[in-house]
Structure 1
Amino acid sequence: MSTWKILDEDFDKAKIMALGVGGCGGNIVSNIADSGVNGIELVSLNTDSQEQNIIHKSKKIKIGEGHGAGNDPDSANKIAQDSEDIIRKIFDEKPEVLFLTAGMGGGTGTGATPVVARIAKELEILTIALVTTPFESEGGRKADQAQQGIDTLINYVDCLIEIPNQKIYEISKEKIGNTSAAYKLLNDEIKKIIKEISSMLLHPNKKNIDFSDLKSVIKGNGYAIVGLGESSGQNRTKNAIDKALTNPFFNQRDIRNAKGVIFFMKGSNDFSFSEFEEGRNAAKNLSEENAQFINGFSTDEMMGENVSVMFIATGLRRRRGSYIDQNVHIAIDNIGKLEEDTGEFVNIDGMSKIDIKKFLRGAKD
């Protein structure tokens, strides 16, 4: 005799957590809460009790004595290691996907985030880190601390998305005079990434992308980029793709030769298969020939005349704050041998011509 089991509608949904570490991470989690995103457990972890007081609508975890880490990553790292039992309890109901977000360059975010990531890795939680890096005006010491934090963190997370604070200034200096509004621009970028990936996993889709699909592209694949775009009207798909591929927080060359790509498109019932094909082909061209490529789409009448696209490109290579093509290998130590008047340019793998002297000096810096 057969036995039937009725499954709860949430049974197969991925369990997702967004965990913000330090002041920046807590602000991002708070921003997610304010946006009304459902289905994500929100947690803020900090060494500073005062910063925790302004965080709302999330579980708040204090480690240490509550006096902060004094802009010292080593101090924060020790506090986190001493608080390992507390951190492990955060994952008692083991999430399948962890969005780990923090600002690199200061104390708690830089020092404590790798400890949290290590624990998550030991528990086999798929972890996506989204981190910010300091403004150029904040000085070399903070930049070096950020670099060291990222170099440590990348060893423990499945993929890492880096968003430079400097881009806020470049994007908003002529449009946004208010400092709070400028920082919100960055927080919104991270919030949108978390929201769109979570929505893709939590809601049923016409051509589904599930947790296993995400894991196959992201797990152990290092540096990554997420591009988001939305448009309406004539050529809406092309325009949405262009927006996604020219994200102002990244350089377009960053996404060449990805080792893995996820493409997801959303629109109302009137968006055509040819539009989906257009987007899918554009995303496929980001990856290497044998790369893992997964695609899906969803219909939602709330989209109206709009279509939205998202791509996740993983397996990228990073050097000192910027991504470089996997096929580019340059001896930075030989930079001094370049003559000032050589004017040599190089074209790599179909990329735009670049001044090799300028590229090398930027990488060395």
Structure 2
Amino acid sequence: MSDSNFLHRLDGGTGNVRIAVVGCGGAGCNAIGSLGINAGGVARTIAVNTDAAHLLTVQAGKKLLIGRNITAGRGAGGNAETGRSAAEEARKTVREELSGTDMVFVIAGMGGGTGSGASSVIASAAREAGAMPISIVTMPFSFERGRRERAKDYLRELVHVSESTVILENQKIIELYPEQNVYSAFGLMNTLISDLVLNLSSTLVKPSLINVSYGDFRSVMRTGKTSTLIFNENSDIDVLVRGAVTKPFFQNTIKAAKGALIHVSGGSAMTLGRMHRIIAEAQEALGGCSNVILGARDDGRKNDILSLTAVVTGLEQAIS
């Protein structure tokens, strides 16, 4: 890879890409909470829920209470079919709200009521509005057997209607951070999701060290219906890459991946040589995957810590 291809600095951003982030249900709305009203100027945020009281606690640019005639604003009670019916009732409203948008991130927790049942309807409405739906979902812990079984059925529906679905296992938080309490664990997952959305959206919309075009992003996401996230932060490049690639948030390996979007962020410690080494090592860990695009952003941090985030696509193993 030549330096000119590796480091392509743009004079202006790709600000014509219109992005919306939809938090669906309690977990989805919680996940977008830290993005605020406009996600730092890179995306619109929309909170969708059947629970009116919970919506009042969420910070978002737009709030949609769905299923008024079904739940009276009191939530779906863990019933995914109620969540689906509520979303169907509001399908036209959602479609109109997403009209003119290029890409929609649909964020939800699987296994409950509104997130499980409504997310596929939201993703479908986004596609009807002409947008590319990218879903990001969390799966219940392994000890939540009943919720996991319910989650699988609705996850398959969501995967079917989405361009690609990024699957994140809550169980991985236990493996990675066993000393965290439950509240902190959910907070960590929410931070991972919001950072993922912010990094991806920023490289599409704002001038960055290495920008990602919407066409390239779409091409990678279309290489597979199921995706996951790898992430790590460290000042040591070997530790940074090894910690990320050996602990994906879905399945146990990324060797079979068909595509990846690798994003590196940091401050003054992010030299061209270090960035090149990070990306080269990450590509090697992907098993020679050829459909890889790169993004990088100076996030202004003052320390020598670098962040590696990658969406790895084409993990078509059966959902289990």
TM-score range, shorter chain: 0.7 to 0.9
Work out the CA distance in 1 between the residues paired with 2:31 and 2:269.
35
1:339-350 correspondence to structure 2 within 5 Å: none
Work out the CA distance in 2 between the residues paired with 1:144 and 1:301.
43
**Counterpart pick for 2:188 among 166, 185, 188:** 185
| Identity in percent | 26
**Matched residue SS, 2:23:** strand
2:150 matched residue in structure 1? 145
1:45-60 correspondence to structure 2 within 5 Å: 45-60=48-63
Moved more, 272-281 or 94-103: 272-281
Following TM superposition, by how much is the alpha carbon of 1:290 offset from its aligned partner in structure 2, in angstroms? 6.6
Q: Which has the higher contact order (CA 8 A, sep 6+)?
A: 2
Following TM superposition, by how much is the alpha carbon of 1:218 offset from its aligned partner in structure 2, in angstroms? 0.7
Q: Verify the 8 A CA contact 1:227 1:311 in the aligned structure 2.
A: yes
Work out the CA distance in 2 between the residues paired with 1:267 and 1:169.
26
2:255 matched residue in structure 1? 256
**Counterpart pick for 2:180 among 173, 176, 183:** 176
Give the AA of the match of 2:172.
K
Work out the CA distance in 1 between the residues paired with 2:257 and 2:314.
6
1:56-135 correspondence to structure 2 within 5 Å: 56-65=59-68, 66-92=73-99, 94-135=100-141
Q: Verify the 8 A CA contact 1:261 1:283 in the aligned structure 2.
A: no
Give the AA of the match of 1:88.
R
1:187-336 correspondence to structure 2 within 5 Å: 187-219=190-222, 221-232=224-235, 236-247=236-247, 249-250=249-250, 252-253=252-253, 255-268=254-267, 271-287=270-286, 291-299=290-298, 302=301, 304-321=303-320
Following TM superposition, by how much is the alpha carbon of 1:205 offset from its aligned partner in structure 2, in angstroms? 2.7
Following TM superposition, by how much is the alpha carbon of 1:220 offset from its aligned partner in structure 2, in angstroms? 5.8
Work out the CA distance in 2 between the residues paired with 1:205 and 1:31.
22
Larger Rg: 1
Q: 1:189 to 1:267 in 2, by over 3 A?
A: closer
Could you list the runs of 5+ residues in structure 2 that have no partner in the other structure?
Answer: 1-11
Work out the CA distance in 1 between the residues paired with 2:57 and 2:114.
16
Q: Verify the 8 A CA contact 2:168 2:229 in the aligned structure 1.
A: no
Work out the CA distance in 2 between the residues paired with 1:33 and 1:159.
24
1:359 matched residue in structure 2? none
1:95-122 CA-to-partner distances (Å, cap 9, x unmatched) read: 2221111111111111111011111122
Work out the CA distance in 2 between the residues paired with 1:122 and 1:34.
24
1:159 matched residue in structure 2? 164
Q: Verify the 8 A CA contact 2:264 2:295 in the aligned structure 1.
A: yes
2:7 matched residue in structure 1? none
What is the TM-score when the length of structure 2 is the normalising length? Answer: 0.84
What is the TM-score when the length of structure 1 is the normalising length? Answer: 0.75
2:34 matched residue in structure 1? 31
Could you list the runs of 5+ residues in structure 1 that have no partner in the other structure?
Answer: 1-8, 322-365
Work out the CA distance in 2 between the residues paired with 1:28 and 1:50.
17
Q: Verify the 8 A CA contact 1:26 1:55 in the aligned structure 2.
A: yes
Q: Verify the 8 A CA contact 2:29 2:48 in the aligned structure 1.
A: yes
**Matched residue SS, 1:117:** helix
Count how many residue pairs are aligned between Structure 1 and Structure 2: 305
Following TM superposition, by how much is the alpha carbon of 1:171 offset from its aligned partner in structure 2, in angstroms? 4.0
**Matched residue SS, 2:314:** strand
Work out the CA distance in 2 between the residues paired with 1:246 and 1:158.
26
Q: 1:204 to 1:49 in 2, by over 3 A?
A: same
Following TM superposition, by how much is the alpha carbon of 1:135 offset from its aligned partner in structure 2, in angstroms? 2.4
Give the AA of the match of 2:88.
Q
2:4 matched residue in structure 1? none
1:336-361 CA-to-partner distances (Å, cap 9, x unmatched) read: xxxxxxxxxxxxxxxxxxxxxxxxxx
Following TM superposition, by how much is the alpha carbon of 1:291 offset from its aligned partner in structure 2, in angstroms? 3.2
**Matched residue SS, 2:197:** helix
Work out the CA distance in 1 between the residues paired with 2:129 and 2:112.
27
Following TM superposition, by how much is the alpha carbon of 1:226 offset from its aligned partner in structure 2, in angstroms? 2.4
Work out the CA distance in 1 between the residues paired with 2:186 and 2:289.
39
